[in-house]
Amino acid sequence: MECGNRLVLAPMVRVGTLPFRLLAAQYGADITYGEEIIDHKLIKCERRLNEDIGSIDFVEKGTHNVVFRTCHEEKNRVVFQMGTSNAERALTAAQIVCKDVAAVDINMGCPKSFSISGGMGAALLTRPELIHDILTILKRNLDIPVTCKIRLLKSSQETVELAQQIEKTGVAALAVHGRRIADRPRDPAKWNEIADVVAALSIPVIANGDVFGYDDFQRIKVATGASSVMVARGALWNASVFSPEGKVPWEDVKIEYIRKSILWDNDIKSTKHTLKEMIMHHSCLELPEGKAVIKSETLADLAKLYGEEKYYQFVRGNRLLLKGSCEAREPEAAALKPPFLEMHLILAAITARNLEPALNWASTNGDKLEQNGSDLELKLHRLQFLEILQKESRDKALKYARTYLAPFACDHMAESQKLMACLLWIGSVDCYK
């Protein structure tokens, strides 16, 4: 996993489960951290391939309690964040997940009392020798990158000194949350103190704190000198913060999140918590929507609340249909199930003349399409352009073309000219109406 020049989804307890990580990646996050999981919890787990869902689950032995769920699709960008206060235990825990994730991160910033009292999170910041032991043992024994996330110490000089000690352990990157332990989330992040760390280190520093819009990525990069940026609340409130095309309405992001929660059978508590956070920020939990979310007990309840019953039924139905075929063959075939279902849903949407899901898919997989010499993305934008031209207005179509077709113009000049001619043609037809 490359850590420089990356847009990063921050670790967030009860939020950063698989559907939210995939959501952030769909909108442009390059690296997605999972929620912090305590080493004690992970060492009680065994790895199971979940053939119903197509996921890789780490399940508490003797129970059905999924502690961490991931999937093949995110293997190269998911960071497993761990809470620990012991080097050997951290290694035992990391060895359980290390084949299925891109990197392991140690949380050294959590100021909550349960972390501090267990000697974890921000408690580590005062124990540089323990930090050294934990990071060194992980670095020596794992084949994947090791990173860690800290907060600011009392003075910038102390933070820089600690960061330099951390760098010496051989970590691949250091995330710095620009607040001190005593700071509240509403206190402004101190980007200038992150800058001091960046200036003193050679490894990539991931700057974190107060990024709420796409423009902030550039602002924090300039202010700190960091090439990578990590976002927590800005992504929680609207995961499309990572999109260079600007944010999409939060209601649309919310529905996409609910669909992903259904597709990956997310823990209802996590989905509800995340939705509640979104609603609290944009609206109010006391209104009917908030009350109904609080009352929901299952994903089926949420699907009904948001008019996604058909999607829910489709996913459930196809899981049952595919179960036999996956069990009979390679267990790894199960990993193909979610992409298959997703593709099915995209095709169903295209049939209903809704190109949005296909366009989202093509933009997330733009690199792969390009590698294969595919012009699918252009073709989809062309269709969408014509749809807007026919159903809406020439102005809107022109705006769409400027945003989405212009980047293809150099390599597809003839095609672009033809499409621009459509604008004129539609106009001339209008004259005869």
Single-letter amino acid code for the residue at 274: T
Q: Does 190 bind ligand FMN (CB under 6 A)?
A: no
- The only residue of 137, 174, 231, 389 in contact with ligand FMN, by rule CB under 6 A: 231
- 15 CB-near residues (< 8 Å, 6+ apart): 35, 236, 270, 273, 274, 277
Active site residue 110: yes
State the catalytic residue, choosing from 45, 71, 98, 110: 110
**Pattern of binders to ligand FMN over 30-49, x per CB under 6 A?**
-----xx-------------
Q: Residue 95's Cα: distance from chain center in Å?
A: 23
- Any bridge partners for residue 106, and if so which? 82, 148
The span of 69-77, 105-113, 301-309, 378-386 binding ligand FMN (CB under 6 A) equals 105-113
Which contiguous run of DSSP H or E holds residue 52? none
Query: Which of 121, 89, 90 minimizes the C-alpha distance to 108?
Result: 121
Of 9-17, 18-26, 44-52, 387-395, which part binds ligand FMN (CB under 6 A)? 9-17
> What's the residue count for the chain?
433
Angstrom distance (rounded) from CA 351 to CA 219? 42
Segment lying near ligand FMN (by CB under 6 A), choices 104-112, 213-221, 293-301, 383-391: 104-112
Closer residue to ligand FMN in complex, CB, 187/370: 187
Shortest approach of ligand FMN to residue 94 CB, angstroms?
16
Q: Select from 1, 10, 96, 101 the one that contacts ligand FMN (CB under 6 A).
A: 10
Does 209 contact ligand FMN by CB under 6 A? yes
Closest approach, Cβ 150 to ligand FMN, in A, equals 9
Distance CA 173, CA 2 (A): 9
- Where does this chain touch ligand FMN (CB under 6 A) — which range of 38-46, 206-214, 394-402, 412-420? 206-214
Q: Which residues contact 148 (CB under 8 A, 6 or more apart)?
A: 105, 106, 107, 108, 131, 135, 166, 171, 174, 175
Burial of 423 (0-12, 13-18, 19+ CB in 10 A): middle
193 binds ligand FMN (CB under 6 A): no
**Token reading at 212:** 């709420």
- Asked if 15 interacts with ligand FMN (CB under 6 A), we say yes
- Sole binder of ligand FMN in the list 21, 77, 177, 180 (CB under 6 A): 177
* Percent of the chain as helix, strand, coil, to the nearest 5: 55, 15, 30
Residue found under tokens 């969408």: 384
Measured from the CB atom, is 204 or 234 closer to ligand FMN?
234
Interface residue list for ligand FMN (CB under 6 A): 10-13, 15, 35-36, 81, 107, 109-110, 149, 177, 189, 208-211, 231-234, 236
